[in-house]
Chain A
Amino acid sequence: MPQDTLIAVEHLTRYYGAHCAVSDLSFTVQRGEILGFLGPNGAGKTTTMQMLCGVLAPSNGRVTIAGHDLALDPRGAKQHIGYLPEHPPLYYDLTVDQYLNFCAQLRRVPSAERAAAVARSKHRCGLEEAGGRLIGNLSKGFHQRIGVAQAIIHAPAVVILDEPTVGLDPSQIVEIRGLIRELGDVYSVILSTHILSEAQTVCSRVLIIDEGKLILDEPLAGLRDADQEQVFVIALRHPPPLAALQAVAGVAEVHAIDAQRFRITGRAGSDSAVALSESAAAQGWGLYELAPSAGTLEEIYLQLTRGEPPAPDAHP
C-alpha cells in the first residue's frame, strides 16, 4: 500500500461571527487510513468536515486534497472527495436511479462509464432492488445507503462521512461498517461519530476534538497496547465510604459515578475484581453489578473532554 498523504490540513480555523467553532486544527490523512472524528456535540466535527469538502470556506488555514489546494484549485480538489453530510442530501422527487445518475454527472463521471458507476455503487450499498423507486417513499435506512452510494459513485480518493450509521438498524450498521472498512482498503475515509464502539471497531486512527481544538491524534493500535490496567464499573446497594473501597487489595483508583456506582481502576496484573466481590460479600455491601468498562477509548475520551460520557453504544 503506497504511503501517500491524501489530505493535509494546516492551521484550519473557522469563526461563526465572534464564536470560534474550529481553532487551529492541523492533521494529515494517509491513503488507506480510516480516521475517526470524535467529540461531544458542538465540538466542531461537522464544521471541520464541511470545510474539508469546500461547503464552508475556512476563516484561516489551508486544506490540500490529493495534492490540490482546495482554495486555489477547488475543482481539482473536489474531484477527489465524496461527501455524505449529516442529513443525506437527497431529492425526494427523483427515483434512486435518476438521483445517482445526476450525482455521477455532477462528479464528472464520463458518460461511457456512468451506467457502470451507478450499478457498482448501488451494488455496494445494497440498492439493486430500489433503483426504480421514488426516494421520498423509501425508509430512513435506505436514505442513508443512497447517501453513501452518492458519496462513492465517482470512486473518490477521500470519502468523508458525517455520522454514517445514525438511524440504521443493527444489521444495516454492521453492513455499513463493513463497507467503510472495505473503502478504507483503497481510499482514505474520514468519519465522524458519537458512538465510541464504532470508532473502536472501524477506525485505524482517532482524532478527538473538543471546543474546536484537537486534543488527541493517535493510532488506535497504540491506544490498545498502552492499556494494561483493568477498568470496571461496580454497583453496590449499600456502598461503604470511598476509603474502604480504596483499601481493597489491587485497587489503584476509585471514582464515584453516582451514589451507588463506582469506576474502579485496578493495578496491572492484580485480581482486583475478585478481591472486590469477596469483600463485598463479606461486608454486606450488596454487590449487584460488576462490568468491565467499555474500553480504552471511552476512558481517554472522558479524561480528555472531562464531560459526560457519550452513550457507549446508543443507537437511536
Chain B
Amino acid sequence: MMVFTIAGTELRRMFQTVLAWAVLAVVQFLLAIFFFMLLWKFLEPGTAAAARGLTDIVVTGTLQIAGIVLLLVSPLLTMRLFSEEQRSGTMQLLSSAPISLTEIVLGKYLGVLGFLLCMLGMIALMPLSLLAGTALDMGQLGAGLLALGLLMAAFAAVGLFVSTLTDQPALAAIGGFAALFILWIIHIAAYSGGEAVAAVFSYLSLLRHFDGLLDGYFSSVDVVYFILLIASFLALSVWRLDARRTYH
C-alpha cells in the first residue's frame, strides 16, 4: 500500500521534470530513425535481408538498438532517485515516517519502472504500426518486448543502487552508466579466461541474455537471470541505505 503511494508520487514527480519528457522524446526520435532505416533496407528489392522476414529484420533490429539507447539514457532517469533525496534532505521525511527502508526502495523502484513501461509502450507502437500493412510474427515480437522490458527493469535496479551511493546526481549518472556498460560487455572477458571463467562471465553478461530473448527463444534461464539481477541490486540498495543510517 505504502509502496504504491511512494511509487505514485515518484512517477508524478518524474513527469513534472523536463528531463523525463526530453528523454522520452529523444528516445522515440532516435528509434524512429533506426526503424525507418531498417524498414527501408527491408523494402529494397533483391537484398538478402528480405529473405529473413520482416519481424526478424525490422522489429528485432529496432528493439536491439532500443537496448543500446536505453543503456545510455536510463542512468539519467535513475540518477535522482536517492542522490537528490539525500542531498536536499527529503530523505529525512521518508526515514522519519513509519515505513521501512524496503518499502521506500520498492516504491521508488516501481515509480521509475512505471515511467520505463510508458516508454516501452511508446516503443512498441512502432513495430505494431506495421500491422496496418502486413502480418508480424507475434511470438517473436512478444519475446522481444519482454526482453526489452526486463532489460529496462534491470537497468533501473542497477541505476537505483548507484544513486544510493552518492549525493551527486551527475556522479550517480556516470557511475550508473559505467556499471551498466560493464554488465553489458562482460562476456568479452570470457575470451581470455579458462572454460569455467568463460562460463561465469558469459552468464553474467546482460547482452547475452537480452539477445537470446530477442531472437525469440524464450528461455527461463534468461528470465531468471534478469530477476536475480534486479532482486540483488534492490537488496543491495536497502542494505546500503541501512548502513548510511547506522554508520554515516
- Tell me, yes or no, whether B245 is within 8 Å of chain A by CB: yes
Once bound together, how far apart are the Cα atoms of A16 and B244, in whole Å? 11
- Tell me, yes or no, whether A188 is within 8 Å of chain B by CB: no
Partner of B98, one of A74, A86, A150: A74
- Tell me, yes or no, whether A107 is within 8 Å of chain B by CB: yes
Chain-A contact segment, one of B51-59, B87-95, B124-132, B227-235: B87-95
Residues of B within 8 A of A86 (CB): 89
Once bound together, how far apart are the Cα atoms of A15 and B90, in whole Å? 23
Partner of B97, one of A76, A85, A106: A106
Partner of B89, one of A16, A74, A79, A85: A85
Once bound together, how far apart are the Cα atoms of A94 and B2, in whole Å? 19
- Tell me, yes or no, whether A57 is within 8 Å of chain B by CB: yes
- The reply to whether B89 and A89 contact each other, CB–CB distance below 8 Å, is yes
- Tell me, yes or no, whether A81 is within 8 Å of chain B by CB: yes
Q: Mark A266-299, 1 if CB is under 8 A from B, else 0.
A: 0000000000000000000000000000000000
Partner of A102, one of B9, B100, B245, B248: B9
27 contacts between A and B (CB under 8 A): A53-B92, A54-B95, A55-B91, A55-B92, A55-B95, A74-B98, A75-B99, A76-B98, A78-B96, A78-B98, A81-B96, A83-B92, A85-B93, A87-B89, A89-B91, A89-B92, A89-B93, A90-B88, A93-B13, A93-B17, A94-B13, A98-B9, A102-B5, A106-B6, A106-B97, A106-B98, A108-B2
Residues of B within 8 A of A87 (CB): 88-89
- Tell me, yes or no, whether A28 is within 8 Å of chain B by CB: no
Partner of B245, one of A55, A93, A98: A55
Partner of B5, one of A54, A56, A74, A106: A106
How near does chain A come to B84, taking the closest CB pair, in angstroms?
10
State the 10 A-B residue pairs at the shortest beta-carbon distance, nearest first.
Answer: A89-B93, A78-B98, A53-B96, A89-B90, A106-B97, A83-B96, A57-B246, A93-B16, A75-B98, A105-B5
- Tell me, yes or no, whether A103 is within 8 Å of chain B by CB: yes
Q: A55-B95, A87-B89, A105-B2 are in contact. List 18 more A-B contacts (CB 8 A).
A: A53-B95, A53-B96, A54-B95, A55-B92, A74-B98, A75-B98, A75-B99, A83-B93, A85-B89, A89-B89, A90-B88, A91-B13, A93-B17, A94-B12, A98-B9, A103-B93, A107-B97, A108-B2
Residues of B participating in the A interface, judged by any CB pair closer than 8 Å? 2, 5-6, 9, 12-13, 16-17, 88-100, 245-246, 248
Residues of B within 8 A of A108 (CB): 2, 98
Partner of A85, one of B5, B6, B92: B92
Residues of A within 8 A of B5 (CB): 102, 105-106
- The reply to whether B90 and A55 contact each other, CB–CB distance below 8 Å, is no
Once bound together, how far apart are the Cα atoms of A78 and B92, in whole Å? 12
Partner of A56, one of B88, B98, B248: B248
> Known contacts A56-B245, A85-B89, A90-B90; is A75 also within 8 Å of B100 by CB?
yes
Once bound together, how far apart are the Cα atoms of A54 and B101, in whole Å? 11
> Known contacts A98-B12, A102-B5, A106-B2; is A91 also within 8 Å of B96 by CB?
no
Residues of B within 8 A of A246 (CB): none
Residues of A participating in the B interface, judged by any CB pair closer than 8 Å? 16, 50, 53-57, 74-76, 78-79, 81, 83, 85-91, 93-94, 98, 102-103, 105-108, 150
How near does chain A come to B245, taking the closest CB pair, in angstroms?
5
Q: Which residue of A lies closest to B93 (CB)?
A: A89
How near does chain A come to B177, taking the closest CB pair, in angstroms?
24
Residues of A within 8 A of B2 (CB): 105-106, 108
Residues of B within 8 A of A105 (CB): 2, 5
Q: Which residue of A lies closest to B84 (CB)?
A: A91
How near does chain A come to B16, taking the closest CB pair, in angstroms?
5
For A81, A91, A98, the residue with the greatest tally of chain B CB atoms inside 10 Å of its CB is A91
How near does chain B come to A161, taking the closest CB pair, in angstroms?
12
How near does chain B come to A306, taking the closest CB pair, in angstroms?
31
